[in-house]
Amino acid sequence: MNYTPLEQAYQIHHTSQQTYGGSIKYSTECIYCKNPKSKALMNTDGGAFRQCELCRKNFKANILNNAISNYSYSTYHLKGTN
């Protein structure tokens, strides 16, 4: 079997870098233990996936800023069919 490398598994290829690049800000607070310090797991996602420095759990960070205006339109085709 051919497996997708982790670096490519979460990349979004259908969006413009000018639209999303640096515009989404993520919280550094752990969603499990509320520790304010965490580190990004990948440099390419802007800190969306993080690891807590205290409890060492991995988590998807909460978005701090408002929604992007064309987010619904640009991700409409990603909705599941089930």
49-79 pLDDT per residue, tens: 999 999 999 999 998 887 666 555 555 566 6
Give me the percent of the chain exceeding a pLDDT of 90: 34
Query: What is the rounded CA–CA span in Å between residue 3 and residue 33?
Result: 33
> What are the domain boundaries of the chain?
24-65
DSSP secondary structure of 3-69 = PPPHHHHT---SS-HHHHTTT--B--S-TTT--S-EEES-TTTTSSEEEETTT--EEEPPB-SPPPT
- What confidence category does residue 82 fall into, taking pLDDT thresholds of 50, 70 and 90? very low
pTM for this entry: 0.56
Looking at per-residue confidence, does 66 or 5 come out higher? 5
